[in-house]
């Protein structure tokens, strides 16, 4: 690979190997399907916590805290080398910029939409990747089903902010690109080094927006603690769980399990944020879940697992 893997002394080598071994034993006792589901719950609880921060630091401030702390944790954990060739740096920077824009757009959508609706619309991005290039007639059914879900969200009763929908669609577009660029990142970097560097680039993209929008409100102690919690719940924990799960289940199984994310988001939004959806919006969420599961089940090993 193109990343320098030189260790940084015996203490670093011992600490990392011990941490990896401990985490491996802990993860090994948990079924892989449970790991994926725990990751989904972690992401959505993190999003619910993030939404509670909006009143204090806004969406820009919240996403900047999430990416800053996630980058800090991952950089400390992996301590990646900066000695990479130009092609690898291009992939890392592309990954980080895409990740940063995806989070900015999603949090702007989340500020205007219920959590379940925002995630459902955003999930159209991975669904498009799963369906891209398909020649099966059955996949046309999944497209129609997903489109029907979107129509129900747009036309169903309940408050649906059109600007929020546009931001969610933009986030979904970035998510689709993120999957494609993430596959390239996996080919050009090792272990979590590319993820750590990409997260640092994403933080560089988002933090200036947060500082400009929220200023000194970002450094309130309780805000910093909440921001660290969002970073752990929304980035560090689920990424770690997903990586371990992908070692033990086929990618298409992983993708089918990930298809539950819009429904889980709607459920977490109801329980944590008291965001109730109209019955037609619940049907819309389930349409997208079914379309994603169907498309992923019939796709070649890639799909949503990138």
Q: Running DSSP on this structure, what letter comes out for residue 232? A: I
Q: What is the pLDDT of residue 10?
A: 36
pLDDT tens-digit readout, 48-72: 999 999 999 999 999 999 999 999 9
Q: Is residue 15 pLDDT above 80, yes or no?
A: no
pLDDT tens-digit readout, 231-240: 999 988 988 8
**How much is the average pLDDT of 224-252?**
86
- 117 Cβ contact partners less than 8 Å away, ≥ 6 residues apart: 153, 160, 164, 168, 266, 277, 281, 285
Cα 36 from Cα 113, distance rounded (Å): 25
pLDDT tens-digit readout, 257-292: 888 999 999 999 999 999 988 888 999 999 999 998
Q: Which of 145, 155, 119 lies closest to 281 in space, CA to CA? A: 155
pLDDT tens-digit readout, 160-212: 888 999 999 999 999 999 888 988 888 888 878 888 999 999 999 999 999 99
pLDDT averaged over every residue in the chain:
84
**How much is the average pLDDT of 227-249?**
86
Q: How confident is the model at residue 41 (pLDDT cuts 50, 70, 90)?
A: very high
- 189 Cβ contact partners less than 8 Å away, ≥ 6 residues apart: 1, 2, 3, 80, 84, 88, 91, 92, 195, 197
Q: What is the pLDDT of residue 278?
A: 86
Q: What is the pLDDT of residue 20?
A: 52
Q: How confident is the model at residue 85 (pLDDT cuts 50, 70, 90)?
A: very high
Q: Supply 34's token pair.
A: 């449970």
pTM: 0.84
Q: Is residue 18 pLDDT above 80, yes or no?
A: no
Cα 197 from Cα 84, distance rounded (Å): 11
Q: Is the dihedral of CA 75, 76, 82, 88 positive or negative?
A: negative
Q: What is the pLDDT of residue 72?
A: 95
Q: How confident is the model at residue 6 (pLDDT cuts 50, 70, 90)?
A: very low
């Amino acid at each position: 690979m193109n990343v320098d893997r030189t260790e940084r002394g015996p203490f670093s080598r011992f600490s990392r190997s011990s941490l990896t071994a401990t985490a491996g034993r802990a993860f090994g006792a948990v079924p892989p399907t449970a790991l994926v589901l725990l990751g989904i719950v972690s992401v959505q609880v993190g999003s619910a916590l993030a939404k509670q921060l909006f009143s204090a630091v806004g969406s820009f401030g919240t996403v900047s805290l999430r990416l800053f702390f996630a980058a800090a944790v991952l950089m400390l954990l992996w301590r990646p080398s900066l000695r990479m060739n130009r092609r690898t740096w291009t992939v890392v920077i592309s990954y980080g910029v895409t990740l940063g824009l995806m989070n900015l757009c999603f949090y702007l959508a989340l500020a205007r939409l219920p959590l379940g609706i925002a995630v459902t619309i955003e999930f159209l991005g991975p669904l498009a990747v799963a369906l891209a290039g398909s020649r099966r007639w059955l996949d046309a059914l999944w497209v129609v089903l997903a489109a029907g879900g979107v129509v129900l969200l747009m036309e169903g009763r309940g408050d649906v902010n059109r600007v929020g929908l546009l931001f969610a669609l933009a986030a979904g577009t970035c998510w689709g690109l993120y999957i494609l660029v993430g596959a390239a990142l996996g080919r050009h970097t090792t272990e979590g080094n590319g993820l750590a560097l990409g997260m640092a680039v994403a933080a560089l993209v988002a933090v200036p927006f947060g500082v400009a929008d929220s200023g000194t409100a970002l450094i309130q102690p309780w805000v910093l603690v909440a921001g660290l919690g969002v970073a752990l719940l929304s980035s560090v924990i689920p990424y770690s769980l997903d990586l371990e799960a992908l070692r033990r289940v086929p990618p298409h199984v992983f993708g089918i399990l990930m298809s539950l994310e819009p429904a889980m988001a709607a459920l977490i939004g109801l329980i944590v944020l008291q965001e109730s959806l109209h019955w037609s919006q619940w049907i819309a969420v389930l349409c997208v879940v079914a379309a994603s599961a169907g498309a992923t089940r019939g796709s070649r090993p890639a799909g949503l697992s990138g």
